[in-house]
Amino acid sequence: MVLSAPAKVNLGLWVGRKRPDGYHEIATIIAPTELADTVNVGRARSGIEVTCDSTEVPSGPANLAHKAAEAFFRTARVNDGCRIRIRKRIPVGGGLGGGSSNAATVLAGLNLIFGKPLCPRRLRLIGASLGSDVPALLAGGPCIVRGRGEKLRRIRLPGLDLLLCLPGFAVPTAWAYAELDRRRGTGQGLTRPVVSPKILRAAIKRDEPDKVAAQLRNSFEPVVFRRHPALGLAKELLLRHGALAASLSGSGSTVYGLARAKGWKDPMAALARNGFHCVRTRTR
């Protein structure tokens, strides 16, 4: 099977305090995009083989797609194997969920190949054990996500035209969470969740930048922009050139802008002068 593994953007991301289990409470809208990796999944007599065309991504057991296949075979009690080929288009470490999407796609693909031995709920439980974004990327459309990523609900959103600003470096997720916790130890940075699909839809429809910006608030921006001022500059340039709103996706490093139907000046040249590669895409 040849499958599409979409990148995601976080349309707003609230991060709460660390829970006793070591995870953080989150509230976010996860929207898949047309930017995607290609994942080939084939049946084999035994074993799991994972290869990738990117040197930035591990092949073999260290790859999250390999872990997904292992978990599928163990849970479904299937004794066969598989071969997985990944063609990367999603930047690695950019907050766009490439590894999680590959894992979700492998789970869904294997379930189809082997006759759907697992129900959607079982697949989501496996996904939650692999990463916080995996259950939402299994859902196949925009979701509002809470808890540590395991509580989700499909929602309706209009298709959104996006400009992704890719700086060419990654922001380690573990560092971002640790720095956020450190700041909060000094009494800074703990906000209240504002994620509401209903308010976001209405604000986009009415072209209300302030209300859209409030919905796209990302708890990581203060710590990530302080460490990487260029990312804050990317957001500023997007807004200066007429984006309806702009935000960091996940813990970064990708910054995206929502294009407007009118009054949108192409910011790609200005962003390129500041070292950003830009990709146009659209939410699914």
CATH of the domain at 278: 3.30.70.890
204 phi/psi in degrees, rounded to 5: -65, -45
What tokens appear for 173 in the block?
A: 């997720």
Q: Which of 154, 175, 205 is the last residue of a domain?
A: 154
Q: Which of 122, 154, 186 is the last residue of a domain?
A: 154
Are 165 and 149 contained in the same domain? no
Are 138 and 190 contained in the same domain? no
Are 182 and 82 contained in the same domain? no
Are 169 and 246 contained in the same domain? yes
pLDDT at 267: 85
Q: Which of 154, 188, 209 is the last residue of a domain?
A: 154
Kindly write down the DSSP assignment for every residue of 211-268, as one continuous string: HHHHHT-BTTHHHHHHH-HHHHHHHHHHHHTT-SEEEE-TTSS-EEEEPPSSS----H
Are 93 and 177 contained in the same domain? no
Tell me how far apart the alpha carbons of residues 89 and 109 are, in angstroms, rounded to a whole number.
Answer: 19
pLDDT at 167: 92
pLDDT at 196: 86
Residue with tokens 């296949």: 69
Tell me how far apart the alpha carbons of residues 122 and 79 are, in angstroms, rounded to a whole number.
Answer: 18
Cα angle for residues 86, 90, 95 (degrees, 5° grid): 125
Are 132 and 180 contained in the same domain? no
Nearest to residue 166, comparing CAs of 248, 56, 54?
248
Tell me how far apart the alpha carbons of residues 271 and 243 are, in angstroms, rounded to a whole number.
Answer: 13
Residues designated as active site: 8, 133
Looking at the chain, how many residues does it have? 284
Are 277 and 240 contained in the same domain? yes
Domain count along the chain: 2
Mean pLDDT per block of 10 residues along the chain (284 residues) reads 97 90 91 98 96 91 97 96 97 94 98 97 95 94 93 93 93 93 70 78 90 93 96 94 94 93 77 89 94
Are 141 and 192 contained in the same domain? no
Are 172 and 107 contained in the same domain? no
Long-range contacts of 265-269 (CB under 8 A, 24+ apart): 265/241, 266/241, 267/163, 267/237, 267/238, 267/240, 267/241, 267/242, 267/243, 268/163
pLDDT at 73: 98
Nearest to residue 17, comparing CAs of 150, 181, 174, 172?
181
pLDDT at 192: 63
Cα angle for residues 125, 130, 134 (degrees, 5° grid): 70
Residue with tokens 């979409």: 6
Cβ contact 279:164 at 8 Å: yes
Q: Where are the beta strands (DSSP E) in the chain?
A: 2-18, 24-44, 48-52, 81-87, 143-147, 151-154, 161-166, 245-248, 255-258, 277-282
Residue 60 DSSP label:
G
Query: Is residue 5 exposed (0-12), middle (13-18) or buried (19+ Cβ within 10 Å)?
Result: buried
Are 84 and 149 contained in the same domain? yes
pLDDT at 195: 78
Tell me how far apart the alpha carbons of residues 175 and 169 are, in angstroms, rounded to a whole number.
Answer: 14
What pTM, to 2 d.p., does this model score?
0.92
pLDDT at 171: 94
pLDDT at 137: 97
Report the CATH number that the domain containing residue 89 is assigned in CATH.
3.30.230.10
Are 206 and 80 contained in the same domain? no
Could you tell me which residues come within 8 angstroms of residue 266 by beta carbon, excluding any fewer than 6 positions away?
A: 241
Are 84 and 20 contained in the same domain? yes
Which residues form the domain of 18?
2-154
Helix (H) / strand (E) element for 129: namely helix 120-130
pLDDT at 265: 78
